[in-house]
Amino acid sequence: MATIKVTRPKLTAGEKIYFGSIFKGMIVTLKHAYRSLRGKSVGSKELASSGLGITMQYPEQKWDEHLPEYYRGVPALVTDEQDRERCVSCQLCEFICPPKAIKITPGEIPNKDEWAHVEKRPQSFDIDMIRCIYCGMCEEVCPEQAIYLRPDYVVTGNSRSDMVHDKERLYEIGGKRVGLVNKWNKLK
Amino acid sequence: MSEETTATAEMKLPKDLAAEKGLVNVQIDGHWIQVPRGTRMIEAAKMAEKEIPHYCYHPKLSSPGNCRMCLVQMGMPPRPAPGQDPTYGEDGYQEIGWMPRPVIACANTVAENMGIRTTGELVEGFREGVMEFLLINHPLDCPICDQAGECQLQEFSVEHGRGSSRFKEDKIKKPKNVDIGANIRLDDERCIMCSRCIRFMDEVAEDPVLGFSQRGTNTAVTVHPGKRLDNNYALNTADICPVGALTSNDFRFQMRVWFLKETKTIDVNCGTGCNTVVWTRGNEVFRVTPRENNEVNSAWMPDSHRLSFHHLHSDSRLTSPMVKKDGTHHETSWTEAISAAIEGAKNLQPDQIAIIASGRMSNEELFLTRQLATALQTEFLSIVPRNGEPDHKLISADRNPNTIGAQMIWETENASSKLGMIREGVKSGQIKAFFVFGENIVKHAGFSEDDLAQMDHLVSSHILANQTAAASSVILPGAGFAEKRATYVNITGRLQRANQAILPPGNAREDWETLAALLSALDENYTAPASMDGVFKQLATEISTFSGQSFGSIGDLGVKIAETGVTIPLIEQEKARVESGQITG
């Protein structure tokens, strides 16, 4: 192995005494401290700061209104204009899900049901939020536009089973979503 | 003179060399190969390892050539003018004159010096055209269609289809979700009119209830008015349906096929032993489908047999060894259950003990049962015969999958001959202890519950809770057909292998382990084999019919180890059809 000799850079007298730089830094810090005390930190308005600095006082204050459109929070199921479950339990999300968080039991829609011609819907649809990594692959793979990552991000629970979102909970989070492709409801 | 003959021999043209062997030369995508005279072009391409996409063609059925998917370009040497001699190139072949139009590869046979192109711009064009026509009325059903994942329309539309549809008109609406039979659901919109199901019901099942109605784009598969698709072979139509037009009611919306693991095994519902594939996810069986074996079941199997796997997940499965104390059964450990089973028989004379085995047991289990009879020194050893009506296709009269195996391993003409003696012994009160393996003897062997109640000791091994288990002093839970590796001998004397697809539930064990444990408890000097293969090895050395065989040598298709003189009617029928050139086989 070749040895490369490195020569240390030659410092000037000013550089050798580093107090100058320290004072420079302190001035920058003090500038920001002064701004912060006046409630005028950069971005404090956008982030709804509590007045001191830009720190949001969570959980009294929440991110909710400040999240961008594309924010990827919890995955949830959506219904269409006519409150039909969009999910037909094709199980592609279960297949693609990298951490295997989704578990679906497919079921048949009974003949007397209003949506009998759709033939299939999930009997149960569970997403284990301990496993979910919020990657959004389920949304991407869904051929029925039935699963979306919603802006909700607070997922808490006191037990492992609390952290599993069942079908009812998923529709509660997802809600109704309009303006999507209409394939089954003959609206077109 | 002799020099000249050698010269001509060397000069022999490829066509003459091939003709000597009954073959013809065919050029497939630029390569010359020799194939038997009369081979279909599609089969010749398969020999050259070129896949020609197809829907209606099935080697076991006649070829009407109605899907048009297998279009290829064909060429023959130009016909010489009168008096003109054919000219041969340096390689000995005539120049091929390519036809600028397509031919179907499934119903045309090869000829000498023929050329087939399965690729190229022209052929791709044929396929794209056919694909586009097939898809114009096809619904966007894939998310709810059970065929998705194993659908040939999906596969070929990825290869030859367009990204988007040019069809602006309204799609034709046809009946969907039609109940046409006990096991089959019909969706006419998905159908691509390949007619495989119609031909299967006509030619193989010999129950022609399906047909086309209407014309043009309105053509639809229908059942004959007033009839239903209730044939016991109806589910085979769902297997051969290249799309999701015919799907199984039993498997309907149970699981997507891409989650399922395939395990090659055999059917154990009758003496034929149809070759099957068991489809599982986790520890659950979702469906059973036939596997091609031209010596046993062709490519088919009866519905009644393929649907008889549900008992594996029944609530009445025995999952833990149990010992009866004060009239009730208590769960216990295997060690205690085995010692209780042997302890109860210790104070009895050998002629007071009877062993009832089952024709549903595998060769290995029957072999160990025989060793158990020797160790207990009892004469009373029998299987329970199980007979039914043969259907003159695949279901044999013998509903035990391994009667022949029992005869071979016990070296007897009739493995159930002692059953009468045992019945008399029970009646006279001579027999005081029973070892029952894999049978509910109340239901199938003609013993009453009172007979069993008067027994001093009753050890039973089964997979389900039943009357025999209820009366047992010791219950040893067993493994179902998909839960163990085993070998069976079918009615034609073919040794076949069943493979393990799932694990036995709970504390249940594979039956050979139970038998080996009983033998170890009886005889201190007995060394139990370490594995299933060990049992088979021992069996192969001791029983001459099995000598030289091993789990590996059996293979997926089995080996014939004896000639029983029994034939399978459906196979004979198929051989005759291949002979007469109706099907490829």
Check whether B11 has a pLDDT greater than 80.
no
A88 interface with B at CB cutoff 8 Å: yes
End-to-end CA distance of chain B: 48
- Which long-range contacts link B93-96 to residues 24+ away (Cβ below 8 Å)? B93/B14, B93/B15, B93/B25, B93/B27, B93/B32, B96/B27
Q: Is the dihedral of CA A28, A32, A35, A37 positive or negative?
A: negative
CA-based nearest distance B130→chain A, Å: 26
Counted residue by residue, chain B has a size of: 585
Nearest to A108 among B148, B253, B255 (CB): B253
Which is more confidently placed, B267 or A15?
Answer: B267
Range of the domain at A86: 67-174
pTM of the model: 0.90
The predicted-structure confidence for A79-136, as pLDDT tens digits, reads as follows 998 999 999 999 999 999 999 999 999 999 999 999 999 999 999 999 999 999 999 9
Residues of A in Cβ contact (< 8 Å) with B148: 90
Residue of chain A with shortest Cα separation from B252: A108
In this structure, are A37 and A120 located in the same domain?
no
End-to-end CA distance of chain A: 73
Check whether A185 has a pLDDT greater than 80.
no
| Alpha-carbon gap, residue B368 to B384, rounded angstroms | 17
| Alpha-carbon gap, residue B438 to B152, rounded angstroms | 42
Q: How confident is the model at residue A70 (pLDDT cuts 50, 70, 90)?
A: confident
What single-letter DSSP state applies at residue A64? G
Residue of chain B with shortest Cα separation from A93: B143
Check whether B508 has a pLDDT greater than 60.
yes
Q: Looking at the domain that runs over B2-134, which CATH code has it been given?
A: 3.10.20.740
A109 interface with B at CB cutoff 8 Å: no
Q: How confident is the model at residue B5 (pLDDT cuts 50, 70, 90)?
A: very low
Nearest to B253 among A95, A107, A116 (CB): A107
Nearest to A143 among B143, B255, B259 (CB): B143
Which is more confidently placed, B163 or B35?
Answer: B35
In this structure, are A52 and A81 located in the same domain?
no
CA-based nearest distance B143→chain A, Å: 5
DSSP B348-384: S-GGGEEEEEETTS-HHHHHHHHHHHHHHT-SEEEEE
Residues of B in Cβ contact (< 8 Å) with A143: 142-143
Check whether B9 has a pLDDT greater than 80.
no
In this structure, are A101 and A163 located in the same domain?
yes
CA-based nearest distance A88→chain B, Å: 6
Residues of B in Cβ contact (< 8 Å) with A97: none
Q: How much is the ipTM here?
A: 0.86
CA-based nearest distance A162→chain B, Å: 25
Check whether B1 has a pLDDT greater than 70.
no
Residue of chain A with shortest Cα separation from B250: A108
Nearest to A183 among B140, B148, B255 (CB): B140
Domain assignment of residue A115, yes or no:
yes
User: What is the number of other CB atoms lying within 10 angstroms of the CB of residue A13?
Assistant: 6
CA-based nearest distance A140→chain B, Å: 15
In this structure, are A80 and A167 located in the same domain?
yes
Q: Could you check whether the bond before residue A59 is cis, i.e. omega within 30 degrees of 0?
A: yes
Which neighbouring-strand residues pair with B264?
B277
In this structure, are A81 and A105 located in the same domain?
yes
Nearest Cα residue to B279 out of B261, B302, B304: B261
Alpha helix (H) residue ranges in B177-301: 196-199, 235-240
In this structure, are A93 and A161 located in the same domain?
yes
Q: Looking at the domain that runs over B322-481+507-526, which CATH code has it been given?
A: 3.40.50.740
Are B526 and B535 in contact by the 8 Å Cβ rule? The answer is: no
Question: Which of A120, A181, A188 is best to mutate for the B interface (most B CBs within 10 A)?
Answer: A120
Which neighbouring-strand residues pair with B354?
B380, B434
Domain assignment of residue A2, yes or no:
no
Inter-chain residue contact B142 with A90, CB threshold 8 Å: yes
User: In one letter, which amino acid is A85?
Assistant: E
pLDDT value of position A45: 75
Pick among 3.30.70.20, 3.60.10.10, 3.40.50.1470, 3.90.25.10: CATH of B164-313: 3.30.70.20
Which is more confidently placed, B194 or A62?
Answer: B194
Residues of A in Cβ contact (< 8 Å) with B253: 89, 106-108, 119-120
pLDDT value of position B2: 45
Nearest Cα residue to B28 out of B77, B74, B59, B97: B74
Inter-chain residue contact A90 with B143, CB threshold 8 Å: yes
In this structure, are A57 and A72 located in the same domain?
no
Residue of chain B with shortest Cα separation from A90: B143
Which neighbouring-strand residues pair with B261?
B280
Residues of chain B with CATH 3.30.70.20: 164-313
Residues of chain B with CATH 3.10.20.740: 2-134
In this structure, are A51 and A27 located in the same domain?
yes
Residues of B in Cβ contact (< 8 Å) with A119: 144, 176-177, 253
From A24, A44, A61, give the residue that closes a domain: A61
Q: A182: which 2 tokens?
A: 């209409």
**Contacts with B, A 58-87, CB within 8 Å:** none
| Alpha-carbon gap, residue A158 to A7, rounded angstroms | 60
DSSP B119-183: SSHHHHHHHHHHHHHHHTT--S-GGG-TTTTS-HHHHHHHHH--SS----SPPPP---SEE-SSS
In this structure, are A81 and A55 located in the same domain?
no
pLDDT value of position A36: 84
Q: How confident is the model at residue A30 (pLDDT cuts 50, 70, 90)?
A: very high
Average pLDDT over residues B550-568: 94
Residues of A in Cβ contact (< 8 Å) with B140: 183
Instruction: Assign residue A99 the CATH number of its domain.
Output: 3.30.70.3270
How many domains is chain A partitioned into structurally?
Answer: 2
In this structure, are A117 and A44 located in the same domain?
no
Q: How confident is the model at residue A43 (pLDDT cuts 50, 70, 90)?
A: confident
pLDDT value of position B426: 92
The predicted-structure confidence for B354-402, as pLDDT tens digits, reads as follows 999 999 999 999 999 999 999 999 999 999 999 999 999 999 999 999 9
| Alpha-carbon gap, residue B71 to B51, rounded angstroms | 12
In this structure, are A83 and A162 located in the same domain?
yes
Inter-chain residue contact B259 with A91, CB threshold 8 Å: yes
Of A45-59, B87-101, B529-543, the one with minimum mean pLDDT is A45-59
Nearest Cα residue to B105 out of B117, B122, B94: B117
Residue of chain A with shortest Cα separation from B179: A111
Q: Which residue has the tokens 């043209």?
A: B13
| Alpha-carbon gap, residue B222 to B147, rounded angstroms | 19
Q: Which residue has the tokens 């006082």?
A: A57
pLDDT value of position A182: 83
Domain assignment of residue A30, yes or no:
yes
pLDDT value of position B140: 83
Average pLDDT over residues A61-79: 88
Residues of A in Cβ contact (< 8 Å) with B259: 91, 94-95
In this structure, are A76 and A145 located in the same domain?
yes
pLDDT value of position B562: 94
Residue of chain B with shortest Cα separation from A104: B255
Residues of A in Cβ contact (< 8 Å) with B255: 91, 106
Residue of chain B with shortest Cα separation from A120: B144
Percent of chain B with pLDDT over 70: 98
Q: B42: which 2 tokens?
A: 């599609």
